[in-house]
Homo-oligomer: A and B are copies of this chain.
Amino acid sequence: MIETPYLLFLGDAPDGLAAKVAQGIKDWRPEFALGQFRMEGCKADMGLPDMDLAAAKAAGCKTLVIGVANRGGVISPAWKKVLVAALEEGFDLASGLHNLLRDEADLVAVAQACGRSLHDVRVPTVAYPIANGEKRTGKRMLAVGTDCSVGKMYTALCMEREMRERGMAASFRATGQTGILITGDGVPLDAVIADFMAGSVEWLTPNNDADHWDLIEGQGSLFHVSYSGVTLALIHGGQPDALVLCHEPVRTHMRGLPGYKLPDLASLRDTALGLAKVANPACQVVGISVNTQAMAEADALEYLAKLEAEMGLPATDPFRFGAGKLVDALAAI
């Protein structure tokens, strides 16, 4: 297990979205997030105290968590300098990057010399089975998005919090590095070998009590050509009883794909539901979760009301306005 509390490393993040990992930890395990470490040019800010390594050590931080993505990239020399210094200062390192800490010879050497640990949460540690498609007991909700990074993980986490407050049996099931860093376990789905993707989701969401809900973190989008295969494996491995559609209305194109427009929510509903019914003919679309953080409150509420009328489904921003509507819809199944 990763030792807490954390110092969140934001590096030279080009924007807030790139620091999704740090934001997730700060929002869902604020008691673990004592401070942030930002390098020159960093455009992300978690609103936490800025700390250097010595200050973080004095504050009691045990692990430096890399809270920022480097899309298909490398660990830069500027980052490396900080990571080495952190090990020397006595911190463990935890990372969900594609580039593994354990593949960096200098980090391995310094960690060994200092007696510190390197945690690569992106690496699968289980030999997942091939999916067998057999119907499992218990209920499952999956968040599916019009695009990547539209709030699928937040939606599931908000619903878990609301359901637990109501005394319902619910488990957030992490499928990405942020979720794994937050909850301490899950499947790093985008690092799983293709043939075992759906099987890893079956493994993650096994038979359970009839009234128990797995709230499965979505990944990618059926409409995002880089990652759509991962999304379909989640739909078929998760065999959800309920889908929640996730959307961010202010985007001009798919994330990372300037030539691609976002689909509308009706297309997402029809495409995702048709595919979900292959694995679970009883699957229903129960609601819509909108990330309205870029909208004024009145605009957001107007947009949500319009969506509800158009789609005939409850619509909310669960992070801003609460997940009550979505949980009501689940409870009615």
Which residues of A come within 8 Å of B, CB atoms? 71-72, 98, 129-135, 189-195, 197-199, 222-223, 225-233, 236-237, 239, 256-257, 259-260, 263, 271, 274-275, 278-279
Contact = CB atoms under 8 A, between A and B. Distances in A.
Given A72-B130, A131-B226, A232-B228, A194 B198 contact: no
A275 B271 CA distance: 8
B225 A129 contact: no
A228 B198 contact: yes
A229 B135 contact: no
Contacts of A72: 129-130
B228 A71 contact: no
Nearest to A199: B226
A194 B195 contact: no
Contact of A192 (B189, B194, B237, B239): B194
A134 B190 CA distance: 21
A207 to B, nearest CB: 16
A194 B199 contact: no
22 contacts: A71-B130, A131-B225, A132-B226, A132-B256, A133-B225, A133-B226, A134-B259, A192-B194, A193-B194, A198-B227, A198-B228, A199-B226, A225-B278, A228-B233, A228-B275, A228-B278, A229-B231, A229-B233, A229-B236, A231-B232, A260-B278, A271-B275
B193 A192 contact: yes
A246 to B, nearest CB: 17
Q: Which of A190, A194, A229, A259 has the most CB of B within 10 A?
A: A229
A189 B194 contact: yes
